[in-house]
Amino acid sequence: MKKKNIIISGIIFIFLIFITFFIIFHNYSFTTIYSNIKNVSLVYILICLILIILYFICQGTYFKLILKSENENITFFQGIYYSIVEFFFSAITPSSTGGQPIQLYYMTKDKIPMRKSIIALILNTMIFKLFFVVGGILILIFSKELVFNNGLLIEMLFFLGLLIDILMIIGCLLLMYNQRIIAVILKIFYKLKNRLSKNKKDYNNTIVEILEKYVDEAKFINENKRTIIISIIITFIQRILLFSITYVIYRSFRFNTLNYFEILLLQIFVQIACEGIILPGGVGVSEFISKYLFKTCFGIYFTSAMVICRTLSFYFPLVILLFVILFVTKKYYIQK
């Protein structure tokens, strides 16, 4: 991504945050929300922060595992950093489109062959979407009221998000095993690379070489079913950790009517309903849906709970990760 595009995405993202929080605090008393937030024990906040750290550790473990299966050894730090990069750039770009290209950039900087990086990223995306499809099915079985009792708009957003996730899984499978699609992606990548580089090169031979070896890599991953199963387990745990923040905050308000599974499905529902929205990080939409659904479990505290959950699971990590990315890029990647 060009610096200009990243800056534009960042500006749009900040503008959306400003509008979102303006609407929230315009309709609700800032003093009341602040008072409710202040009453939340620091112990629960600490638990949420630990869950976020474990989230990145899980994805770092995934990258280390999957790349090792492709005979590429990376450090645990590198795996976590690829996770950090994905989270940050997916959050500030429309439809979360910026995370994987930036991950690919850093992996290339670390001398990981592109064919192996692409496999790791496609598989990771596919498992992510599989988690939401499984979650959507569980919602339709155990919590149908989330879908059908909250208005036509919420229902449409849910089914649209679920459809997109299913199509993404199909798309990822095609990417894994269809050379023509990979060829098009590689041509676009190297065309952009030539535009950004002073030294223009002919990458046709490189693309042919990557495609020849790519098929072997895809077959190798397919034959390592144990690695795939472990990767699915790790990725599912990763998503559950992040979505568990809602339950921690629910308990911090001393509520216990709903169990953990019910709260988890509620948060998964919110995420699925945001999948079809092109806004960066689902900013605005996620807050709207969360606030609407949180009424059923947080009562009069639903706005305060939404602000806490969204801040701890999204906004706060983004601010911290921005400085982490700036530091790591300058220290370890700027000279590569």
Model pLDDT for residues 123-182, shown as the tens digit of each residue: 898 899 999 999 999 999 999 888 888 888 889 999 999 999 998 888 777 777 666 777
Q: What is the mean pLDDT of residues 81-109?
A: 85
Binning pLDDT at 50, 70 and 90, where does residue 284 land? low
Whole-model pTM: value is: 0.83
Binning pLDDT at 50, 70 and 90, where does residue 25 land? low
User: Tokens 């937030």 — which residue?
Assistant: 37
Average pLDDT value over all residues in the chain: 83
- Three-state SS for 93? coil
Contact between 239 and 124 (Cβ < 8 Å):
no
Binning pLDDT at 50, 70 and 90, where does residue 232 land? very high
Look at residue 10 and tell me whether its pLDDT is greater than 90. no
Contact between 238 and 214 (Cβ < 8 Å):
no
Predicted confidence at residue 161, as pLDDT, reads: 92
Look at residue 2 and tell me whether its pLDDT is greater than 60. no
Q: What is the mean pLDDT of residues 11-30?
A: 66
* Rg, C-alpha atoms of the chain: 21
Binning pLDDT at 50, 70 and 90, where does residue 98 land? confident
Predicted confidence at residue 36, as pLDDT, reads: 81
Look at residue 4 and tell me whether its pLDDT is greater than 70. no
The domain ranges of the chain are 3-10+40-333
Contact between 81 and 61 (Cβ < 8 Å):
no
Q: What is the mean pLDDT of residues 108-133?
A: 89
CA 251 – CA 262 distance, rounded (Å): 13
Look at residue 1 and tell me whether its pLDDT is greater than 60. no
Structure-token pair, residue 195: 């535009």
Predicted confidence at residue 331, as pLDDT, reads: 84
More confident residue, 141 or 220: 141
Look at residue 33 and tell me whether its pLDDT is greater than 80. no
Look at residue 202 and tell me whether its pLDDT is greater than 80. no
**Residues 6 or more apart in contact with residue 117 via CB below 8 angstroms:** 103, 104, 107, 108
Predicted confidence at residue 199, as pLDDT, reads: 65
Smallest Cα–Cα separation from 300: which of 5, 6, 36? 36
